[in-house]
Every structure is written in C-alpha cells, then in structure tokens.
Structure 1
C-alpha cells in the first residue's frame, strides 16, 4: 500500500505528509487532557514531527529529489506545526499571548515575502544562520515547555523570540529591493 510513497523519490514528501497528519493528533492530545502525561506525549509527537522536518529536507537534497510539492508543503507543514503548538501553549498558560503573536506574525510575514519574491521572478532567499537558530530554539522551547521543564523552556522561548524577530528583519532587509518604490 505504501510502496509508491516510500520510494526514494517520494520518501521526503511522505515524511512531510506524515508531519501534517501528526498535527491534529498533537492538538487532540493537548485538547482532551491537561495532565503531565498528555503534555509529555504531545511533546514527543512534536519532537518526532520536528525531526521529520529535518529529515525530509536532508534526504531530498542528498538524493536530489526536490519537488514542487516538497517546496510548497514542507514549509507549510513547519508553519502549521509550530503555530499550532504556540497557540496551544498560550491556551495552556505556558507562553504569553504577545510572544506567540509576534512569532506567528513573523512567520506569516516571511511567508508572504517569499510569495512576493517568487511572483516577482526573484529567487527565494535561503535561510541564513539566524533563521536556523530560530527554528532550533522554537522547537526546543516547545518541547521543553510541554515536558514541564519550565526554566529551560522559558530560556529557549525568549532566545527563540529574539532570533525570530532578528531573522525576520534580516529576511526583509535582504528583500528590501522589492519595496524601494513604496514610500516615495
């Protein structure tokens, strides 16, 4: 049944689809129980989903099987996973709403900027080191907070917030040519 999806050519996309499927499971677990065990299970699911984010991109590049579906679905799955987690962490009282709002707004703004770059025929800017640090710290903040490792989670959360905002600024600075005629 899964043979056609698990071929070398399709396996990275299969991992992306699995990550998308994990999102409602993650949300359901956090919605049905407010127990430590539900949080830990949700944290494990989030960690596995986050690992698939790394793995699908690594394998697609290594095997030379980058597809249009992957270019579209991989970043979408990442944003859906992280945004869902931050919204749930606000609901659980683990993350201030203003922090989650800034992180989500940056993610939406950069996604919009990427679409604009593609529309203008430009090349999408590759993620620089601040963006990679942003992703790493966001994911670990979420995992640590769900595991109730509050101090470590809060440290990673505010480091993630800094790198989220800085990498967003860096991304817009790199694409500032798109807006040169905006405020004449």
Structure 2
C-alpha cells in the first residue's frame, strides 16, 4: 500500500505545516522564497505521483483517496496564509476584493468534495474533467506567483500577475463547480 506514488502524495500532506511556517511572517522575504521552493517541489511531486502510479500500474485506492485531499490541503493552507499574513508594513498578499476569488476557490472545493462523497454513496463516479485540470493548474500557478511575490515585495507586477491568475482560476472554479453540480443534481431526489 505504501508505494512510491503514495509516499509522494503523503509527503505533500506532511509538508504543508512547513510551508505554512515559511509563509507565516510576511516581512521575511527569505521565508517566502524558501516557501516557493517547497511549494514548487510539492507541485512536482503532485505530477510525479500520478505519473508513476499510472506508469507502474500502481494506482491504488489509497492514492485515489489521498491525491485530491493533498491538493486541497495545500491550496487551502496557502490561501489562508496569504489572506491572513500581514502587518503594518506588509499587507496580506490576498486582500480586499481579492479575498472573494480565494473564497470562491475554497467554497467550490468544499462543495465538490461533498458532492463526490454523496455520489460515491450512490456508486456514481464523477471523473475529473480536463477543464478542472486547467483550473487546478491555474490555481497552482496563481498561488506560486503570489508566494514568489512575497519574496520580492518591490516587484508589484508579480503580485498583480498573481492576483490576475487567481481571478482567472476563480472563474474556472465557478465554471467547473457548476458543471459538477449539474451532473450531481441529476442523481438527487
């Protein structure tokens, strides 16, 4: 059960507290730069755990269960830290109206997870769509860009790019969330 792909997935989950600790202090540029490295490595393991599982024929129920959880834990932790970490000198990297984009992402993840759980009880699977994969990619790029912007606070364009990408991912999040909800509603009384 503890195959290399599952170990990679578990490594993402246990690394989340380290990532959160590195991003905790908004004025610590080195922490954000180290956080970006950790975040990027987590993204690489996300790619390789799925690739290796398919290539080795080692797709497991544990991996199918843990992979989306690992993604959601990582995304949720980063969004919460980027919305909360701030002080008088350094405001949060996701603030004001941009918190709405972060909220859309988090609420969709909770809703789709609940929907998947409900449908699993009915033995109805809901495969991940290609658009949802693009949504995830945009989220990962947006959050990575915002983390990197925390290391280079003087580079305002980097922060603006991160926020623009966050909004693009929030729009895709709404579209894919609606698609999943539409499918799920067909199976409800």
* Residue 34 (structure 2) pairs with residue 17 (structure 1): no
Number of aligned residue pairs: 172
Q: Over the residues paired in the alignment, what is the CA RMSD in angstroms?
A: 1.5
What does residue range 1-184 of structure 1 map to in structure 2 within 5 Å?
A: 10-32=3-25, 34-92=27-85, 93-95=92-94, 96-123=98-125, 125-148=126-149, 149-179=158-188, 181=189
- Could you say what secondary structure the match of 1:39 adopts? helix
**Deviation sequence 1:96-140 (CA, Å, 0-9, x none):** 3322221111001001111111100112x2111220111000000
Structure 2 regions of 5+ residues with no counterpart? 86-91, 150-157
Q: 1:128 to 1:176 in 2, by over 3 A?
A: same
CA contact (8 A) 2:102 2:166 kept: no
Runs of 4+ in 1 over 6 A off after TM superposition: none
Q: TM-score, normalised by structure 2?
A: 0.85
Length-normalised TM-score, structure 1: 0.88
89-98 or 72-81, which deviates more = 89-98
